[in-house]
């Protein structure tokens, strides 16, 4: 199996929140990541779901995610809660980071519910960088809020705002006057982020960085068999689940220069002339992924039955 992760532990960390620890099936070191990064997990139901990495990047052999059971969702989180077991192996893409942490003198973190997940490694980073930080963590009730014990052990900078105790948090009051040395990171439901944006209206525009929960738009994706057509030779190759495009090319005697073989370095980029790639790399940004005219053949696959490559 290429580009897959094995479930090594699962643990209930709050009402409806399951933490899952993942490792390489062969025990190899996983691709590195930075705080704010997420994984694409491909579930056996054909759904792709994105989860922020919330573990310790100093552990090079494990990823950790936390999954909220979404009642009216399309079933991705429910499947993970109900069916994912230790030992299961899931294909994945990434890690990628659309919510990177930038250097700052002080950090203010605003989390709502499961939005705490990308912020956890950022808080670790602030601690490690010896930067002052504060966290406003809102949720419905304390038992629904993951990682509270861990956060509260960090000291007095954490304000927990459980709705059943204190109502909706007053973000503006918590943020205070514009602070030219601080950066605000927010992740959570739209209402909280809108309130945060409004509260930051008088701050410098670069101060606020947020990640919104977006409804996953990518439809079915799974490791289905597909055909790779090589334009220059007309060769057709069948790529089965468990085999990478790169391996298929090599078996056919077509050499593509590679380096990391984890989708992180960008060496094996190949132009795509027809068909839709299923991007699993950490390199291409949203614009390039959308363009769909190139792919990293070491990890990426096809969303269509056939891909024509400029080889």
Partner 1 sequence: MTTLRSDAAAVPSIDLDPYAPEHLVDRTAFLTAVRETAPLVHLGAHDVFATGRFDVVREVLANWQQFQVGAGVGLANFHTEVPWRPPATPTEADPPAHDAPRRVLTDVLGARTLRRLRETWQAEADELVDRVLAGGGEVDAMADLASAFPLKVFPDAVGLPPDRRDDLLAYGDLVFNAFGPRNALFERSAARLGELSGWITSLCARENLDPAGFGAQIWAASDREDITAEQAPLVVRSLLSAGIDTTVHGIAWILHAFATHPEEWDRLRAAPELARRAFDEAVRWASPLQVVFHTTAEPVELAGVRLGKHRKIMLLLGAANHDPRRWEDPGRFTLDRDPSGHLGFGMGLHQCVGQHVARMEAEVLLTALARRVRRLEPAAPPRRGVNNTLQVWETLPLRLTK
Interface positions with partner 1 (CB under 8 A): 29, 32, 34-35, 57-60, 97, 100-104, 125, 128-129, 183, 206-207, 250, 255-261, 265-267, 269, 283-285, 287-288, 294
Report helix, strand or coil for 151. Answer: helix
Q: Which is nearer to partner 1, 2 or 144 (CB)?
A: 2
4 has which bridge partners?
A: 91
Would the CA dihedral through 198, 204, 207, 212 be positive or negative?
positive
Preceding amide of 95 cis, omega within 30: yes
* Least distance CB 255 / partner 1 (angstroms): 5
Neighbours of 270 (CB within 10 A): 23
Q: How far is the CB of 130 from partner 1 (least distance, A)?
A: 10
Phi/psi for 197 (5° steps) reads: -60, -40
Residue among 97 and 235 whose Cβ is closer to partner 1: 97
Q: Whole-number minimum distance, CB 203 to partner 1, in Å?
A: 12
If the CB atoms of residues 4 and 283 are measured against partner 1, the closer one turns out to be: 283
Smaller CB separation from partner 1, 89 or 102: 102
Answer whether 76's CB lies under 8 Å from 49's CB. yes
Considering the complex, what minimum distance in angstroms separates the CB of residue 179 from partner 1? 13
Identify which of residues 223 and 269 has a Cβ nearer to partner 1 in the complex.
Answer: 269
Q: What is the DSSP annotation of 231-274?
A: TTT--EEEE-TTS-HHHHHHHTT-----SSSSSSS-TTEEEEEE
Kindly state the smallest distance separating residue 232's Cβ from partner 1, in Å.
9
């Amino acid at each position: 199996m290429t580009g897959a992760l094995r479930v090594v532990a699962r643990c209930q960390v709050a009402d409806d929140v399951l933490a899952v620890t993942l490792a390489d099936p062969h025990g190899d070191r996983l691709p590195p990541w930075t705080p704010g990064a997420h994984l694409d997990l491909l579930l056996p139901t054909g759904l792709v779901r994105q989860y922020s990495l919330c573990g310790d990047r100093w552990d090079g052999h494990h990823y950790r995610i936390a999954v909220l059971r979404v009642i009216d969702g399309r079933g991705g989180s429910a499947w993970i809660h109900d069916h994912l077991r230790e030992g299961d192996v899931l294909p994945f893409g990434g890690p990628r980071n659309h919510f990177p942490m930038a250097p700052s003198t002080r950090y203010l973190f605003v989390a709502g519910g499961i939005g705490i997940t990308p912020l956890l490694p950022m808080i670790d980073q602030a601690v490690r960088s010896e930067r002052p930080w504060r966290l406003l963590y809102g949720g419905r009730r304390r038992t629904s809020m993951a990682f509270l014990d861990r956060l509260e052990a960090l000291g007095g900078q954490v304000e927990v705002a459980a709705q059943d105790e204190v109502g909706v948090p007053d973000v503006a009051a918590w943020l205070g006057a514009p602070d030219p040395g601080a950066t605000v990171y927010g992740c959570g439901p739209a209402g909280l982020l809108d309130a945060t944006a409004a509260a930051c209206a008088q701050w410098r525009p670069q101060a606020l960085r947020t990640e919104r929960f977006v409804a996953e738009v990518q439809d079915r994706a799974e490791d289905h068999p597909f055909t790779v057509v090589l334009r220059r030779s007309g060769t057709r190759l069948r790529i089965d689940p468990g085999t990478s495009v790169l391996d298929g090319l090599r078996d056919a005697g077509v050499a593509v220069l590679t380096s990391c073989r984890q989708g992180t370095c960008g060496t094996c980029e190949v132009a795509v002339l027809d068909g839709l790639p299923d991007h699993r790399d950490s390199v291409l940004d949203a614009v390039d992924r959308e363009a769909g005219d190139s792919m990293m053949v070491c990890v990426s696959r096809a969303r269509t039955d056939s891909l024509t490559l400029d080889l």
